[in-house]
Amino acid sequence: MKQMLNFAFATALLALVGCTAKAPDPRVQTLERTLGLLNLKNPASDAMKNFTKGDLRLIGVNGFSCSLPGRPSVAQEQLAQQNGMYCLDGTSDVGLRDLNEQAAVYSARYNAALVKLIHR
């Protein structure tokens, strides 16, 4: 009898844990995948690769709309208008604070490096 109660308790506990487990957030997965494709430690190297391929677009992050991170320089604003920009997939102004901060820091450093390459 005691074994049956232990088994029933264990089964109920597993069922409860299974019901309350959260499914992975697709936004987190998308942003993690995006960040995994970038050289977060050296955004200037990514800027150099794209510069040599002729890709002069700046990188933006999503908030209310896609925009350059932080306080972009006049040169960055002009280049974004001339060459366009692309937004990092999965970025958002809602939640995911640490991942979005990594994306914003990367974008700002990448953009600064790309501006230097274009204006040298």
**Structural domain includes residue 5:** no
> What are 74-101's pLDDT values in tens digits?
999 999 999 999 999 999 988 788 999 9
Expressed as residue numbers, the domain containing 28 is 24-118
**Structural domain includes residue 83:** yes
CA distance 62 to 6: 51
CA distance 120 to 116: 6
CA distance 116 to 47: 10
- Only one residue has tokens 């933006």, namely 60
CA distance 103 to 30: 12
**Structural domain includes residue 4:** no
pLDDT confidence tier of residue 25, bands split at 50, 70 and 90 = confident
Domains in the chain, number:
1
Do residues 31 and 100 lie in contact, with contact meaning Cβ atoms separated by under 8 Å? yes
pLDDT of residue 111 exceeding 80, the answer is yes
**Structural domain includes residue 16:** no
What is the phi-psi region of residue 90: left when phi exceeds 0, alpha when psi lies from -120 to 50, beta otherwise? left
pTM over 0.85: no
CA distance 101 to 37: 16
Residue 94: the pLDDT is 81
Query: Mean pLDDT over all residues of the chain?
Result: 86
pLDDT of residue 116 exceeding 80, the answer is yes
